[in-house]
């Protein structure tokens, strides 16, 4: 809950709804920390239900198996699956019933990733990095990364410049800070990378530390991370707290059927993705808030459509987001991606 990013943002949404509606709330942490198993996650959900929870909010795609088990066992409880999707009773059966007590809420991360990539190139950065969480198998991080590349490419084409991107999922599988990750990112900065998109929770600590040591810069993720480090130029944000508040509200106001058993995707049109524009968060020197607002409006009105279908290797979803430069050659002009 102290990652200053995805988990903390979700928790803040739970706390906000509970506080504003005079409800109790509690955090149930799975055993074994970063090495938690599906059984550990299920045990935490069951403990929440046994403790009296009427709604259980589960954050992140790793929750799916445990969430399925808990939702089946406790049909009277509503479950909110943040960064998730509608799930069925049997994942192996395409005709299996959808679990009506699970609300999957996800985001158009490709949109805020695009905004960040476009903005940093417009501001003069041409040597970029992307370090993704989930080991390349987390769809949300994959959408962030692909959007970032699309935005950087669009801005590069407009300016007539060439952009290079180091693009990696190494050391990000658990979303944790590590000396290996910091060493890799330090190597990027030392060989010319100017700014790195730190796309993965606590990975931010390692990446911002490497940036500080090398006078480099960082793009934050999920929430406005400008207060965490002077290296942060902007953050690709999504309304995680907003999503929790929205879904919990449906459980208490009698409209659960609007989200239960469904996947709800929040994006620019719901004001759920974007960059921070407050004066103390906006650290661009050339790219302006007016230019940003114009770009954001083009996404809202449909004149700019950003591709959410990131390429995957031939061996499929197990390596989603771990790409070869050739995958991008035609789709992303004026940009070279160094995958590793």
Q: Write out the two tokens for 93.
A: 């059966």
Residue bearing the bigger pLDDT, 6 or 233: 233
As a whole number of angstroms, the distance between CA 36 and CA 72 comes to 21
Stated as kind and residue range, the H or E segment containing 246 is helix 240-252
Instruction: Provide the 10 A C-beta neighbour count for residue 229.
Output: 19
* pLDDT in the model for residue 34: 80
* pLDDT in the model for residue 329: 67
Does pLDDT of 3 surpass 80? no
Residue 338 per-residue DSSP state? E
| pLDDT tens, position by position, 226-257 | 999 999 999 999 999 999 999 999 999 999 99
pTM score over 0.75: yes
3-class SS at 227?
A: helix
| pLDDT tens, position by position, 34-80 | 889 999 999 999 999 999 999 999 998 889 999 999 999 999 999 99
As a whole number of angstroms, the distance between CA 270 and CA 151 comes to 20
User: Which of 133, 125, 150, 147 lies closest to 216, judged by CA?
Assistant: 125
Residue 231 per-residue DSSP state? T
- On the 0-12 / 13-18 / 19+ scale of CB atoms within 10 A, 198 is buried
As a whole number of angstroms, the distance between CA 114 and CA 155 comes to 10
Does pLDDT of 321 surpass 90? no
DSSP 173-237: TT----HHHHHHHHHHHHTT--EEEEESTTHHHHHHHHHHHHT-EEEEEES--GGG-TTEEEEEE
Backbone φ and ψ for 75, nearest 5 degrees, come out as: -65, -15
């Amino acid at each position: 809950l102290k990652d200053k990013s995805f988990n903390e943002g979700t928790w803040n949404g739970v706390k906000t709804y509970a506080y504003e509606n005079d409800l109790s709330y509690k955090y149930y942490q799975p055993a074994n920390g970063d090495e938690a198993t599906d059984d550990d996650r299920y045990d935490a959900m069951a403990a929440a239900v046994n403790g009296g929870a009427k709604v259980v909010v589960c954050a992140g795609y790793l929750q799916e198996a445990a969430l399925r088990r808990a939702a089946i066992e406790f049909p009277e409880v509503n479950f909110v699956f943040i960064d998730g999707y509608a799930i069925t009773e049997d994942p192996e059966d395409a005709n299996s019933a959808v679990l009506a007590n699970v609300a999957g809420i996800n985001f158009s991360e490709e949109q805020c990733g695009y905004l960040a990539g476009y903005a940093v190139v417009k501001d003069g950065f041409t040597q970029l990095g992307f370090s993704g969480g989930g080991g390349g198998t987390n769809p949300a991080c994959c959408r962030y990364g692909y959007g970032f590349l699309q935005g950087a490419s669009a801005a590069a084409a407009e300016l007539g410049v060439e952009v290079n991107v180091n693009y990696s999922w190494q050391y990000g599988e658990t979303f944790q800070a590590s000396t290996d990750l910091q060493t890799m990112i330090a190597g990027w900065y030392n060989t010319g990378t100017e700014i790195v998109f730190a796309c993965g929770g606590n990975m931010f600590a390692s990446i911002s530390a490497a940036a500080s040591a090398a006078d480099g810069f960082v793009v934050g993720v999920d929430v406005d991370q400008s207060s965490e480090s002077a290296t942060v130029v902007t953050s690709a944000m999504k309304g995680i707290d907003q999503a929790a508040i929205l879904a919990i509200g449906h459980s208490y106001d009698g409209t659960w059927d609007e989200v239960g058993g469904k996947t709800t995707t929040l994006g620019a049109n719901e004001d759920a993705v974007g960059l921070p524009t407050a004066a103390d968060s906006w650290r661009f020197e050339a790219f302006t808030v007016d230019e940003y607002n114009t770009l954001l409006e083009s996404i809202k009105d449909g004149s700019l459509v950003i591709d959410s279908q990131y390429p995957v290797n031939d061996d499929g979803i197990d390596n989603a987001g771990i790409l070869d430069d050739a995958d991008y050659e035609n789709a992303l002009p004026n940009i070279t991606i160094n995958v590793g």
